Amino acid sequence: MSAIAFYIQKFLLLLLSFLPMGVLYIIADILYFSLYRVFSYRLKVVRDNIDRSFPGKTSEEKARIEKAFYRHFADMLMESVKMIHLSPDSLAKRMKLLNPEILDKYRSEGRSIVAMGAHYGNWEWTLGIVKELNYMTLGVYKPLNDRRFNDFVNHTRARFGAVMVNMREVIRVLIKLQKQKVPSFNVFIADQSPVWEEIQYWTPFLNQLTAVYLGPEKIAKQFNMLVLYGKVRKISRGMYTIELIPLEENPQSSKEFEITRKFISILEENILEAPEYWLWSHRRWKLTRKRENEERKGNFRFSENNTRI
Q: What are the pLDDT digits (tens) for 195-226?
A: 999 999 999 999 999 999 999 999 999 999 99
45, with CB counted inside 10 A (0-12, 13-18, 19+), is middle
Domain annotation covers residue 232: yes
pLDDT in tens, 234-264: 999 999 999 999 999 999 999 999 999 999 9
Is 137 part of any domain? yes
Residues 3, 9, 13, 15: is their CA dihedral positive or negative?
A: positive
- At 166, phi and psi to the nearest 5? -60, 135
The confidence score (pLDDT) of residue 148 equals 93
Domain that holds residue 274: 91-296
Note the pTM of the prediction, 2 decimals.
0.94
Domain membership of residue 57 (yes or no) is no
Residue 264 inside a domain? The answer is yes
3-class secondary structure, 194: coil
The C-alpha atoms of residue 64 and residue 77 are separated, in whole angstroms, by 20
At 181 the three-state DSSP class reads: coil
Q: Say if residues 247 and 234 touch (Cβ distance below 8 Å).
A: no
Sequence-distant (≥ 6) Cβ neighbours of residue 152 within 8 angstroms: 6, 10
Rounded to whole angstroms, how far apart are CA atoms 256 and 66?
Answer: 36
> Looking at the domain assignment, is residue 161 inside a domain?
yes
Per-residue pLDDT of the chain (309 residues; tens, 9 = 90+): 688 999 999 999 999 999 999 999 999 999 999 999 999 999 999 999 999 999 999 999 999 999 999 999 999 999 999 999 999 999 999 999 999 999 999 999 999 999 999 999 999 999 999 999 999 999 999 998 889 999 999 999 999 999 999 999 999 999 999 999 999 999 999 999 999 999 999 999 999 999 999 999 999 999 999 999 999 999 999 999 999 999 999 999 999 999 999 999 999 999 999 999 999 999 999 999 999 999 999 999 999 889 988
Count of domains for the chain: 1
C-alpha 188/C-alpha 175 separation (Å) is 17
Does residue 30 lie within any of the structural domains?
no
| 41 domain residue, yes or no | no
Domain assignment of residue 121, yes or no? yes
